[in-house]
Amino acid sequence: MLKLPEIPEAVRLKAPIHQREYLVGGELRTWDGEVSEVYSTLSDTQPYVPTLLGSIPTMGEPEALDALDAALQAFGKGKGEWPTMKVRDRIGCMENFVRRMETQRETVVNLLMWEIGKSRADSEKEFDRTIEYIYDTIAEYKDLDRASAKFTKHDGVYAHIRRGPLGVVLCLGPYNYPLNETFALLIPAIIMGNTTVFKPAKHGVLLITPLLEAFRDSFPKGVVNILFGRGRAVATPIMQTGKVDVLALIGNSKSANALQDQHPKSNRLRLVLGLEAKNPGIILPDADLDLTVQECLTGTLAFNGQRCTALKILYVHEAVREAFLERFVKEVDQLPFGNPWDSGVKLTPLPEADKPDYIQELIDDALAKGARILNPRGGERCENFIWPAVLYPVTKDMRVYQEEQFGPVIPVVSFTDMDQPLDDMAESNYGQQVSLFGRDAYTLAPLIDALVNLVCRVNLNSACQRGPDVYPFTGRKDSAQSTLSVHDALRSFSIRTFVAFKDNALNNETVEALLEAKRSNFVSTEYLL
Ligand code: G3H
């Protein structure tokens, strides 16, 4: 049985946060209805009792429709202040917001640790990466705007082409990156002139509350509306109105499909989705084993494997299977387990109370079908954690082969024919990334050429990851729709729209007058520095 680490007095929360305010139409409204308690699985009580962190409103259809209405009014059928605002002024609002957000670093990082059990180093990284993402988005938008500050002419027709907002965006993020991934949707959606309704993830919800006032004060009313409650209760009625223009969701394809199906006008609805994956690590006979072991440890177990980009299955060539696994399982069993604030910690308690039991089910199913646990500590339990089990040999009939585990368990398959992992990937419902470990150019070349057509990122001798955030983050099949990166997200949340006119004296005079009058924020050649 794993020992629960003690929680030092210094990191205990002073008092529970009973959040009663929510943001709709530019005001923080007070909720006096039903609430849901928020618990952390971090605890050192004997016997084990989860820690109460606070409570949040359990909202429903009326509040959801109010928030949608506020977003619709702020868009104002295209005439709203925000969608017609000068790019320079929209950027000013975003700069105000990010400066206010920076002041909340310590509070947000602390809540990240308590709510989702992410290590302090990774929680700080999540916060800082999000701030950087916002500044990079501002810089990228300036570039985009500069490139649009001109007229082009073809076949006697002038065009002034820019990117315009799509309308109302419903934004839902995941619990494993409740700040970064949610903001990687919300920030580009806002800055491009859309108006938004946003519901925080099921875990990592209190950490949004220190930012409500900054949202309220930085943007015109109704541009950002923030609700609390269950996705089913608030997102479903919003989708059913048919008035949402973009569903932006990072999470599970089942939730994405269910929500999409509620929208009665499928051609109106654009989708920006980052969904699940089962990224394989493929280890070739000439792989550098020291490096491969380290990358596979990070790939499979960073944040306990709770990453959409995690390596969720390892294909090890028979020629190096023994050598690789011998080193790998030793390293897995030596990983430091503790609370998020413990120095050097790698494995931490899981935020979902039922996750250890689910992982246990996957292990039991694999054992019953012929797999073994290779590491002595594999499957060791306490209430809020289960030690990662390295399972071998894993076969297609096992649940751990079929399901995205999103947690600490590592299935291993061995192979001799390179077509096996390729065929399995082609057959899979997922297509996000792969890690390929090896160095012979003649072996790697045809593999890379095939793999880039099965996934959207081939990581050579490196763990899979989303970052750096300037690179495209996307996937095939059930893994994604649209592309996210600092550059691509601005495009995913906007559409090219333009003013065109035939080259004649009347039009030229009219457009010159428009430019001179500086009354249109769209027809403008102003160069943003
Ligand atoms: O959950 C999926 C995240 O996008 C992974 O991001 O690769 O930076 O951890 P990461």
Average per-residue pLDDT in the chain?
97
Whether residue 4 has pLDDT greater than 80: no
Strands ordered across the beta sheet of 372-373: 372-373, 389-392, 409-415, 311-317, 279-283, 433-437, 457-460
Minimum-distance ligand 1 atom for the alpha carbon of 129: 8
Minimum-distance ligand 1 atom for the alpha carbon of 176: 1
130 CB less than 6 Å from ligand 1? Answer: no
Which residue out of 122, 312, 464, 465 has the highest number of ligand 1 atoms within 8 Å of its CB and is therefore the one to mutate? 465
Residue 6: the pLDDT is 85
Q: Which whole number is the average pLDDT over 458-464? A: 98
List, for residues 153-201, the tens digit of each pLDDT value.
999 999 999 999 999 999 999 999 999 999 999 999 999 999 999 999 9
List, for residues 329-351, the tens digit of each pLDDT value.
999 999 999 999 999 999 999 99
Which residue out of 123, 133, 307, 434 has the highest number of ligand 1 atoms within 8 Å of its CB and is therefore the one to mutate? 307
Taking CA atoms, 233 is separated from 5, 65, 227, 236, 247, in Å, by 37, 11, 11, 6, 16
Give the closest residue (by CA) to ligand 1 atom 6. Answer: 466
Residue 1: the pLDDT is 67
Whether residue 529 has pLDDT greater than 90: no
308 CB less than 6 Å from ligand 1? Answer: yes
List, for residues 228-253, the tens digit of each pLDDT value.
999 999 999 999 999 999 999 999 99
Give the closest residue (by CA) to ligand 1 atom 8. Answer: 466
Q: Which whole number is the average pLDDT over 206-218? A: 98
Cα(309) to ligand 1 centroid in Å equals 5
Judged by DSSP in three states, 171 sits in strand
Minimum-distance ligand 1 atom for the alpha carbon of 467: 8
312 CB less than 6 Å from ligand 1? Answer: no
Instruction: Encode 372-406: b = buried (16+ Cβ within 10 Å), e = exposed.
Output: ebbbebbbbebbbbbbbbbbbebeeebbbbeebbb
Whether residue 5 has pLDDT greater than 80: no
Cα(237) to ligand 1 centroid in Å equals 29
Cα(464) to ligand 1 centroid in Å equals 9
For residue 257, what are the contacts with CB-CB under 8 A and spacing of at least 6? none
Q: What is the pTM of this model?
A: 0.97
Whether residue 3 has pLDDT greater than 80: no
- What six digits make up the tokens of 75? 């868009």
| Cα–Cα distance measured from residue 473 to residue 274, given in angstroms and rounded to the nearest whole number | 8
φ/ψ of 333, rounded to 5, equals -75, -15
Cα(466) to ligand 1 centroid in Å equals 5
Minimum-distance ligand 1 atom for the alpha carbon of 181: 4
Residue 30: the pLDDT is 98
Residue 479: the pLDDT is 97
Q: Which whole number is the average pLDDT over 299-322? A: 98
List, for residues 397-428, the tens digit of each pLDDT value.
999 999 999 999 999 999 999 999 999 999 99
